[in-house]
Amino acid sequence: MVQLVEERSIQFQVDGGFYRAHSRIVRDLGVLAAAVYRQNQGQLRVLDSLSATGVRSLRYYQEAQADWVWANEGNPDLLETLTTNLRRIPAAQRCISVLSLRQLCLERSLMGDRYDLVDFDAFGSGSAFVQDALTVTTLGGLMYLTSTDGRTYSGREPQRALRQYGAYGRSHPAVQEQGLRLLLGSLAQQAAQRNFGIEPIFSLFWGDTCRIMARLTRKPTLTETNYGFLGYCHHCGTYGLPTWRKLSQATCAHDDLPLTLSGPMWLGKLHHPDYLRQMLAIAQRWHWQDVVKVLETMALENDLPPYFFPLKEIGARAKIDLPKLDSLLNSLQAEGFQASRTHINPQALKTDAPMEKIKAIATQLGAS
C-alpha cells in the first residue's frame, strides 16, 4: 500500500523523491506570495522548475489557485511519482516535463513563454540560476530563488563568492543575512544589465538555506544607496556602511580602525511591507499561526540596518552571561533606539544602536 504524506491541505507520495518536512514554512511563504499575486492580478501561471515530488506544484494549484502549473523535474527516475501526484490537477491546467533547469528555461524563453511565478528550488548558489529566472519571468512577476551554499556566503570561501556573486564575502556574526543580501544583490545587478529592476517581496533564512522572493520591475532599481558594502570591525564588533565614493576611508566609527568589507550586496529592505501585510492577512485567515509569527517578525525587522547582533556575540564582548533578549530590546527602545527580533536568528537582535551601547545596556541589565 502506498503511503501518503500530508502537508497543509494536500496529500502526496514521496516514493524516493526528495522531501524535507522541516522546509514546509518555505513552501508556505511561497504559496502565500502566490495567493496575493493571484488575488491582485486575477491570474497565476507557475513554473516549478525542480518539482521533485510535486508538493509545491500541488500547493500552488490548490491553495494559491494557480490557473496553470508547469512542473519540471531534472531526474527522470521521479517522473512516475511526479505524474501520479499531479493527476489531481486537471490535464488542461498542467504540464509535466523532465529537463535540466537550463534546457527548460532556454526552451520556454525561445517560445516567448513567461510566467507569473518561477520557483527555482535548486542546490548550491542561487546566483547560478539568476539569468535563467530573468528569461522566463513576466514583468511584474515573482521569482523565488534558493541558495544552499553556506561556505560561500559565510566568508569561508571569498574567492568562490567572487565567482558566484561578483562580490567578496567576509566572515562576521551576521553572515546568514549576508547570504540573503548577496543573492538579492546578484539578482538586482543582473536585472539592471537587462534594464529591469527588482523589488524584494520577502527574504527568508531557514535552517541553512537562503530563500528570496522578488518581483521583476520594468525600470532598474539598482542604486549606490541600496547596493554597496557592509563593513565590520573585528576589534569592537561595530558595523558600518561606507559609501562607494569613500571605500578607501572605510574605518570604524568607534575606534577608527579599518573595517573588513563584504560586498557589493543588496543593502535595501529585505521585505515589501504592503505585500507582507497581504500575506499576513491570508495566513491569519487560514490559521497558519507559525507563519503568522514569522511574518510579524519580518515586518518588525524590515526598517532596521542590514545586519544583526547575536546574543552570544554581545555576551562574549561584554564578558557577561547571555542577556535576556526581551529585556535588552525593551531597554534599547526605552533609550530611543530602534530594536527588534530577527527571523534569521531567534537568539539575536537588530538595532541601530552601536555595539558599545548594546554592551553597556546588557552589562547594566546583568548587574541589576
Instruction: Residue 181: give its domain's CATH number.
Output: 3.40.50.150
Instruction: Please state the domain count of the chain.
Output: 2
What's residue 253's pLDDT? 93
Give yes or no for a contact between 314 and 358, defined as CB atoms under 8 angstroms apart. Answer: yes
> Residues 6 or more apart from 39 whose CB is under 8 A from it?
278, 282
Question: What's the predicted TM-score (pTM) here?
Answer: 0.96
CA neighbor of 13 nearest in space, from 97, 79, 99, 92: 79
Residue 355: inside a domain: yes
Where would I find the beta strands (DSSP E) of the chain? Answer: 4-7, 10-13, 45-48, 68-72, 94-97, 115-120, 137-147, 197-206, 209-217, 227-232, 239-240, 260-266, 309-310, 339-342, 345-351
Looking at the fold, whether 82 and 187 belong to one and the same domain comes out as yes
Please, what is the Cα angle at 160 between 155 and 164, to 5 degrees? 110
What's residue 3's pLDDT? 75
45-48 and 345-351 strand pairing: unpaired
Cα gap 87→187, rounded to integer Å: 34
DSSP three-state, residue 20: coil
Residue 114: inside a domain: yes
Residue 282: inside a domain: no
What's residue 17's pLDDT? 76
Looking at the fold, whether 315 and 229 belong to one and the same domain comes out as no
Domain end: 250, 273, 296, which one?
273
Instruction: Residue 335: give its domain's CATH number.
Output: 3.30.56.70
What's residue 322's pLDDT? 87
DSSP three-state, residue 52: coil
Mean pLDDT, 10 residues at a time, the chain of 368 residues: 84 86 95 98 97 96 98 94 96 97 94 97 83 97 94 92 94 97 97 98 95 97 98 97 95 95 98 98 98 98 98 96 94 98 98 97 87
What's residue 124's pLDDT? 77
Cα gap 59→38, rounded to integer Å: 13
Residue 281: inside a domain: no
C-alpha grid cell, residue 201: 517581496
Query: Containing domain of residue 353, as a range?
Result: 309-368
Looking at the fold, whether 315 and 267 belong to one and the same domain comes out as no
137-147 and 209-217 strand pairing: antiparallel
CA neighbor of 366 nearest in space, from 320, 316, 311, 325: 320
Cα gap 218→270, rounded to integer Å: 20
